[in-house]
């Protein structure tokens, strides 16, 4: 199942690269036509300006596909194993398998248990890549001790496999500075500044969610050093 999904992600990444290549070729053709016209008119300054614009356009096209979407960038694929494990749990309600696995005998807030369970399925807990934690605060402390923590807004762009922590607003719109929830980053859209996640204990089930990079309820990210 994981191998099949990884292959699908690889194919998607190839499609992104092909689209970027096509966009770059189109930009080069357009720039060439403009250069020829400028040379004919004797406008060498215009030629230099057009060359600079063409180089910038080619660089941008190489980063994003023609739709401006950076989903499943090839550099993110090596971190996708935990995402594939999490995706297989979408729809689970109640989270019994996760909090019971952790060792609890009755229902608890199980978002961190879910992340820990997924990490364990990948062998990441034994390897010291992701901690086993049931409390979000403990998870943040671990990543900070490992110097693998990034606050929201410090010019860090989350990638696939990052562990995202939240501080929810209360009914009055206030936050207490303590993490209440945690999930797994599944993909990012840098162009539109959106983050996509899979979370446990979101409305008491496993589900996909989307947030803005600038959402103040996002505290920050634990960025595991995957092998």
Mean local confidence (pLDDT), 183-210: 96
Higher pLDDT, 63 or 213: 213
The reported pLDDT for the residue numbered 79 is 76
Unique residue bearing structure tokens 């729809």: 91
The reported pLDDT for the residue numbered 97 is 97
The reported pLDDT for the residue numbered 70 is 40
CB 205 within 8 A of CB 107: no
Unique residue bearing structure tokens 């103040």: 216
* Structure-block tokens of residue 51: 């060359």
Contacts of 83 (CB under 8 A, 6+ apart): 160, 161, 184, 186, 198
pTM passes above 0.85: no
Classify residue 77 by its DSSP letter.
G
Q: pLDDT tens-digit profile of 103-156? A: 999 999 999 999 999 999 999 999 999 999 999 999 999 999 999 999 998 789
Q: Which helix (H) or strand (E) holds 62?
A: helix 44-63
Unique residue bearing structure tokens 């190839």: 14
- Domain ranges, ordered by start, for the chain: 2-63, 74-222
Q: pLDDT tens-digit profile of 7-64? A: 444 444 444 444 555 555 555 666 566 566 656 666 665 555 655 555 554 444 444 4
- What rounded mean pLDDT belongs to the chain? 80
Contacts of 103 (CB under 8 A, 6+ apart): none
């Amino acid at each position: 199942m994981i191998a099949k999904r990884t292959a699908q992600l690889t194919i998607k990444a190839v499609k992104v690269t092909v689209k970027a290549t096509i966009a770059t070729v189109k930009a080069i053709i357009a720039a060439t036509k403009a250069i020829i016209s400028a040379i004919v008119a004797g406008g060498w300054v215009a030629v230099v300006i057009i060359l600079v614009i063409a180089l910038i356009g080619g660089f941008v096209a190489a980063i994003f596909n023609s739709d401006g979407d950076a989903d499943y960038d090839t550099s993110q694929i090596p971190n996708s194993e935990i995402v594939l494990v999490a995706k297989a749990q979408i729809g689970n309600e109640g989270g019994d398998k996760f909090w019971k696995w952790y060792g609890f005998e009755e229902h608890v807030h199980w978002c961190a248990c879910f992340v820990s369970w997924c990490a364990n399925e990948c062998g990441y807990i034994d390897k010291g890549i992701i901690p086993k934690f049931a409390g979000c605060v403990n998870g943040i402390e671990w990543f900070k001790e490992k110097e693998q923590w990034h606050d929201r807004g410090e010019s860090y762009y989350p990638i696939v496999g990052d562990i995202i922590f939240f501080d929810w607003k209360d009914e009055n719109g206030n936050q207490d500075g303590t993490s209440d929830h945690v999930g797994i980053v599944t993909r990012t859209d840098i162009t539109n500044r959106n983050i996509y996640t899979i979370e446990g204990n979101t409305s008491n089930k496993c589900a996909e969610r989307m947030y803005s990079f600038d959402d103040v309820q996002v505290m920050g990210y634990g960025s595991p050093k995957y092998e």
